[in-house]
Structure 1
């Protein structure tokens, strides 16, 4: 357990430290032909659960990395613990996962790259901020964004034997160029706090750094 403890107080170093562990879980998922998304759940600067995408092996569409980690947390702690837990995940949570995290009362979410097709924390919808009965949570992205994107690209170069109509990809070349984020994807802490206020969410004191920032 001591191996998971991170004593430094610098928030950038803390975020990078835990995101590296999420990336390691993504690498593990890639090694067994799963979509390479990994995550860690952190309580008091200690990792209390890890998760990775498991949809192919389990043949279950809901076995995303976040759900795998949530299951582990709930085996050890009551659901009330989530109000003090932060999630680090390589890809922005999808709408389903973002909703589950909000219902559980997660304190904050940190992610690598955005999810432009299914994102629930700004990529498509703002499930984490929309008006509702559950407490809102901040979602801060861009931590090791390039590494998270490259993990996904490496996966999509592979053959997927479980696909209904597998596409031959042997001649494809890995694109190593990652474009900079659009300014439209960058939101300040002040703006996020304003959004939280507009949706009547509990005010959150956020750390300095933009909501989408490049590491």
Structure 2
């Protein structure tokens, strides 16, 4: 999870919402991702999706069986769907996402047993560190927007 936090910090440094992810297979990191929506001008460029795509290339298969995804924020509904479709085995996340979280904070995409795939999902891993980085980012964003608003007067 520390590696996912490092990816989130990179996203923060690049002006992106600070979410980071790593994908492991048999205990080894095979892919990394961080939010890149602003840089790529792509609303689907979430850390989890970029990590899944990269991991599939490394493994050479879209089925990411026996993998674990670590992410700093509770996956959204789009990412939850991708995790299920990619057949990721286990997801560990840091902070809950009250606005978009798909593990019960906003909606629960995992409450029904999937017909072809079992995915374990757990939250709260390094939750404080993940939440602190998000708070810092949005505080900085609010500060910037107030400065812009004042200069426009």
Quote the RMSD (CA, aligned, Å): 1.8
Deviation at 1:131, TM superposition (A): 4.5
Larger relative CO (CA 8 A, sep 6+): 1 or 2? 2
Partner of 1:119: 101
Alignment of 1:77-156 (within 5 A): 77=59, 78-80=61-63, 82-156=64-138
User: What is the SS of the residue equivalent to 1:147?
Assistant: helix
Runs of at least 5 residues in structure 2 that lack an aligned partner in the other structure: 149-153
Alignment of 1:45-56 (within 5 A): 45-56=27-38
Partner of 2:17: 35
Partner of 1:167: 145
1:155-197: CA deviations, max 9, x gaps?
Answer: 112248xxxxx72169xxxxxxxxxxxxxxxxxxxxxxxxxxx
Matched residue count = 146
- Structure 2 counterpart of 1:67, from 42, 49, 54: 49
Q: Closer, same or farther in 2 for the Cα pair 1:159/1:126, shift >3 Å?
A: closer
CA distance in 2, matches of 1:131, 1:86: 18
Partner of 1:158: 140
What TM-score results when the alignment is normalised by the length of structure 1?
0.64
Contact 2:23–2:31 (CA under 8 A) maintained in structure 1: yes
What TM-score results when the alignment is normalised by the length of structure 2?
0.88
From the two aligned structures, give the one with the greater strand fraction: 2
The higher radius of gyration belongs to: 1
From the two aligned structures, give the one with the greater helix fraction: 2
CA distance in 2, matches of 1:38, 1:169: 28
1:39-61: CA deviations, max 9, x gaps?
Answer: 10010110000000000111110
Runs of 4+ residues over 3 Å off in structure 1: 131-134
